[in-house]
Structure 1
Amino acid sequence: MKLKYYIIIFGFANFTFSQTLTLRECVEMAVEKNISVKQSALEIENANVDKSNAFGNFLPNFNAQSSHSWNIGLNQNITTGLLENVTTQFSSLGGSIGIDIYNGLQNINQLHRANLNILAKQYQLDNMIDDIKLLVANSYLQVMFNQEILTTQKSQLIIAKEQLKRTISLIDAGVLPVGDVFELEANLASQEQSIIQAENNYILSKISLAQLLQISDYENFNVVIEDLDIPFSTILDNSPKSIFEKALTLRNDIKLGVVNIEIAEKDIELAKGSLQPSLRGFYSYSNRVGYSDRLIGDGTFSDVPIGTVLSSGETVVRPIENTKISPALSLSDQLRFNEGQNYGLSLNIPIFNGFSSRNSVKRAKINLERSKNSLDQQKLDLESTINQAYNDTRGAYKFYEASQKTVKSRKIAFDNTQNRFRAGAMNSFDYVQAKQRYEQSLSDLIRAKFDYIFKLKVVEFYFGIPLEIK
């Protein structure tokens, strides 16, 4: 009972982790797990943070501050004016606000540049995804190709075994000489070697695709294997020029190049803005509170000598109000009496800064020319790639048609050879040679089919047709 239970659990586990994926599922998985894609997505988030900073430049800067201090030890008593060992306390608070009124349109240009940078990062991500799609499609078709080669080799092995068995029967019946069996046995061994090589190629292609998808358990991973026919497509009815013109509107690397030019143009405006005057408004408020006693008038006056008349020698006096020590004012009174305000405008006119600003403008213009040259080169590369892909696809289809004719001819020749061999009119060496030529034509046909399909998908992809295998 326990053994049955374990078998059920084990079988369920295998079923759970077994994966058979379509091309679309493979592409989605590769994009989802690809580290470079994740990094590029983080770049977009970072670009959005830069946009937030650019938007914040339009808002005023506001700062507040406060402090409380103790003066301990030998200090001047602010009440009596004498040096004493006394502790005094002070509190202060304040705030300031500033806003850019004009700074050479720097804030507006920085916001525009931030928006363009977000767009550039998105195109960069999309272009990376396009490359991953083509890479996955190639690996996916390679798995299907190796699987079909393996299936064909196994079918030929069955035929070889049946032919060997039939030949042995004919030898036993005296129809064929004994020596014919050795060539067939060698052919059977060669067929088994081909299967081992085909199995190895199939496993390696699965591993390669699994690595793209970051699947560690490649043994329980497979692709959807169906009878893949040559897809009907009218893409080759278009000229390479029309495909190129369509690709110019769809390719993300071209869009990225256009946005990079716009960013370079915006950098020139930013560099020129640093040469213009800037005007800034500001306002600040301050207040303070003291906790020491204070001297105030007591309402009585005393005559204090302030000088002497030279002619008469008479002393000149002045009545001065007598003072007394009084506690500090209340907090509300001090806040009312001690507040201070400061506001105004600040104008900054750049005159000379060691050619730094002007050189920044020159560098920005040079970068603009670089971006334009880069876009022109991307267009030339794209046109060359499309022309080559178009001609390769046409050539691949012609090669596929020729391979079909070859298989048909080889099949007829092999059937004729097989009939003659069974009738004893041909030796085993010539029979094996005909069989191997037929098997090679089958492999060439499979290779031609998948080569054409992939090249066709590349051209369709440039034309904006999604990658699908049906």
Structure 2
Amino acid sequence: MKINKYNSLVFALLSGFFLSAQTQPKQWTLEECVRYALDNNITIKLSELDVKNAAIDKKGALGNFLPSVNANASHSWNVGLNQNITTGLLQNSTTQYSSVGASVGVDVYKGLQNQNILRRTKLAIIASQYQLTKMQEDISLNVANAFLEILFNKENLKVKKEQLAIDQKRLARSEEMVNAGTIPRGDLYDLKATEATDQQAIIVAENSVLISKLSLAQLLQLKEFADFDVIDDTDVKDENNILAQTPIEIYNKAKETRTELKLAQTNLEIAERNVIIAKGAFQPTLSAFYNFNTRASYSDIITGSALNSDNPTRQIGYVQGTNQAVLEPNYSPVLGGAAPIFDQFNDNKGQSFGLQLSVPIFNGFSVRNNVEKSKVSLERSKIDLEQKSLDLQRNVYTAFTDAKGALNAYESSTVTLEARQQAYNYAKEKYDVGLMNSFDFTQAQTLLTNAQSEVIRTKYDYIFKIKILEFYFGIPIIPIITK
């Protein structure tokens, strides 16, 4: 009996543990959110398909160096008046013919276009991989921003709830003071209005938390996000000491690591290769070919000859002067069945091979226009690379200035909060002894609440600005693993 009771107790404890584990929502870390987004985001999946397409294009470019081999076969029926290919006679009959063949062709010289197309496809693979990496980096920043937005809203909600708790205590104490005749009843009404305002602020803050969670869950492509939550990691610190770097140092590092510059440089190289490919169409092309054909007929064939019994002789001329007819034996062909089909294929086979040279002379300016278009695209790529470099320099200096400003704003808001807290404590002491009315005390409390909210806002703004600056310095949110 004791053992059964012990087992029942253990079972109950384990059941309670697993039930609480199931009902408690998972709290995601920033790294988990970013990793999940990189694995499941639809835009990233589409970019991964572009990488696969680029790899397939490379296989096609390699195939241009290989010979083309084709086989053909046909079987036909001729019904009605046809010429017998064996006897040469016209006759009404149904005949069948079969033919088979094979052809091989290979480019010997094509203006080096195949070689340049292969080099372009290799560059296209690199460009698609850079595009995928850039997409992953952008998604990582968006996830980090959404993650910090949740933390900001949760801390803001916490401040609102703490403020409500303080006001509720004040309201209860004020009711006692009103009953004791220490303060007028009008102060009590002000406190009730303040409590109602606090309740409304909490509702707004709760909605902000829910909306920010929903935004991050949708960014992660989560199907079930009712219990989605994140870990409250609110440390403010510059772990990599990024602000110790100068803007020019960060910019020089960004030029080496930023994906948008690498992508623009690769697109420039692709444009240069397209110009070379287009110019290659001005050159002659030389190709080699080999063809093999054979055929078979199912018609009767001549197997021999025999003297025509109905007309054993035929006149072939006459003797001049006497006009005596000159005769010869009249033989008629003897027809037999068609030869075996494989024997016919062997007897009727034929081959052809050679070289074919094509020299472009005039093609309606199509080749020249393609070259001009490719040159325009090349100039566009050069301008795009220059613009990307200028944008990167501006973004780095802006990010550095923003991070410095965010740090100063956070430090100033912290100092302001300390001053507002001291002012609130002093106002509370005066209010408790009846030396300050409720309106003035509420103003001091409102200023304190605003200072607390400003500290929260500047803190997370500073965290995100530091993340952006680290991003330009080549420090990712999490290490991105290339598949």
Q: TM-score, normalised by structure 2?
A: 0.88
Measured in 2, the distance between the counterparts of 1:439 and 1:384 equals 37
Question: Residue 139 of structure 1 aligns to a residue in which SS?
Answer: helix
| Cα separation, 2, equivalents of 1:28 and 1:81 | 80
2:52 to 29, 45, 48: 45
Superposition deviation, residue 166 in structure 1: 2.3
Aligned 1:327-406 pairs, distance under 5 A = 327-406=337-416
Secondary structure at the residue paired with 1:47? helix
Q: Partners in 1 of 2:377 and 2:234 — Cα distance?
A: 53
Q: Shift of residue 81 of structure 1? A: 4.6
Seen in structure 2, the aligned counterparts of structure 1 residues 403 and 79 have a Cα distance that, compared at 3 Å, is closer
Following TM superposition, by how much is the alpha carbon of 1:167 offset from its aligned partner in structure 2, in angstroms?
2.7
* SS of 2:226 mapped into structure 1: helix
Shift in Å, 1:372: 0.6
8 A contact 1:75–1:86 mirrored in 2: yes
- 1:164 and 1:459, CA in 2 relative to 1: closer, same or farther beyond 3 A? same
Answer yes or no: is 1:450 the counterpart of 2:460. Answer: yes
Partner of 1:73, secondary structure, is strand
Shift of 1:65: 1.1
CA gap 1:14/1:312 in 2 versus in 1, 3 angstroms: farther
After TM superposition, list the pairs within 5 Å mapping 1:16-35 onto structure 2.
18-35=25-42
Question: What CA deviation, in whole Å up to 9, does each residue of 1:296-334 have, x standing for no partner?
Answer: 444989986655676886877788976432333333432
Residues 167-186 of structure 1 correspond to what in structure 2 (within 5 A)? 167-186=174-193
- Find out whether 1:279 has 2:281 as its counterpart: no
- CA drift at 1:120: 1.2
1:58 corresponds to: 65
Deviation at 1:183? 2.5
Residue equivalent to 1:146: 153
- Measured after TM superposition, the shift of residue 74 of structure 1 is 3.2
Unaligned runs of 5+ in 2: 1-11, 479-483
SS of the aligned residue for 2:477 comes to coil
CA contact (8 A) 1:70 1:88 kept: yes
Q: What is the alpha-carbon distance in structure 2 between the residues aligned to residue 372 and residue 198 of structure 1?
A: 49
TM-aligned CA distance change 1:23 to 1:338, over 3 Å: same
Aligned partner letter, 2:428: Q
Residue 442 of structure 2 is matched in structure 1 by 432
Residue aligned with 1:336, SS: helix
C-alpha spacing 1:373/1:17, structure 2 compared with 1 (3 Å)? farther
CA deviation profile, 1:329-374 (whole Å, cap 9, x unmatched): 3334323321101000111111111111111111111110100101
In the other structure, the counterpart of 2:221 is 214
Calculate percent identity across the aligned residue pairs: 44
State the alpha-carbon separation in 2 of the partners of residues 334 and 219 from structure 1.
78
Check the 8 A contact 1:298/1:321 in 2, yes or no.
Answer: yes
Could you give the per-residue CA deviations for residues 169-218 of structure 1, whole angstroms, max 9, x where no partner exists?
Answer: 33434443443323222222222222122112111211221221233543
User: Shift in Å at residue 42 of structure 1?
Assistant: 1.6
Which residue of structure 1 lines up, in the alignment, with residue 129 of structure 2?
122
- 2:137–2:476 Cα contact (<8 Å) kept: no
Amino acid at match of 2:365: F
RMSD of the alignment, in Å?
2.7
Distance 2:185 2:235 in 1: 43
Shift of the 245–175 alpha-carbon distance from structure 1 to 2, 3 Å rule, reads: same
Q: 1:95 aligns with which of 73, 91, 102?
A: 102
Give the Cα–Cα distance (whole angstroms) in 2 for the partners of residues 74 and 300 of structure 1.
27
Bigger shift: 295-304 or 99-108?
295-304
Measured after TM superposition, the shift of residue 15 of structure 1 is 2.5
The alignment covers a number of residue pairs equal to: 461
Q: Which residue does the alignment assign to 1:166?
A: 173
Q: After superposition, what is the alpha-carbon deviation per residue over 1:367-421, rounded to whole angstroms, capped at 9, x for unaligned?
A: 1010010111111111111111110110110011111110111111111111121
1:233: Cα distance to partner? 4.0
Q: Does 1:268 align with 2:275?
A: yes
Hey, what's the Cα distance between the residues in 2 that align with 1:327 and 1:164? 120
Check 1:310–1:120 CA distance in 2 against 1; reply closer, same or farther (3 A cut). Answer: farther
One-letter amino acid of the structure 2 residue matched with residue 243 of structure 1: I
In the alignment, the residues of structure 2 paired with residue 98 and residue 16 of structure 1 have an alpha-carbon distance, to the nearest angstrom, of: 69
CA distance in 2, matches of 1:260, 1:221: 41
Q: After the TM superposition, which residues 239-278 of structure 1 pair with which residues of structure 2 at under 5 Å, given as runs?
A: 239-278=246-285
Q: Distance in 2 between matches of 1:263 and 1:26?
A: 35
Q: Which residue of 2 aligns with 1:226?
A: 233
Structure 2 counterpart of 1:286, one-letter code: N
The CA distance in 2 between the partners of 1:20 and 1:451, in whole Å, is 22
Q: Structure 1 residues 283 and 165, CA, compared in 2 at 3 Å: closer, same or farther? A: same
Distance 2:84 2:477 in 1: 87
Q: Is the 8 A contact 1:230 1:449 kept in 2?
A: no
- Code of the aligned partner of 2:449: E
- Give the match for residue 245 of structure 2: 238
Query: Do the aligned residues in 2 keep the contact of 1:116 with 1:263 (CA within 8 Å)?
Result: yes
The CA deviation at 1:23 is 1.3
CA distance in 2, matches of 1:13, 1:106: 67
Preserved CA contact (<8 Å) 2:307 2:329: no
* Residues in 2 aligned to 1:387 and 1:107: alpha-carbon distance in whole angstroms: 44
CA change 1:421–1:349 in 2 (3 A) is: same
Matched residue of 1:341: which SS? strand
What residue ranges of structure 1 are gaps of 5+ in the alignment?
none
Q: Which residue of 1 aligns with 2:334?
A: 324
Residue of structure 1 in register with 2:118 after alignment = 111
Alignment of 1:65-84 (within 5 A): 65-78=72-85, 81-84=88-91
Aligned to 2:5: none
Structure 1 residues 42, 233: CA separation in 2 closer, same or farther (over 3 Å shift)?
Answer: closer
Output the CA distance in 1 between the equivalents of 2:166 and 2:186: 20
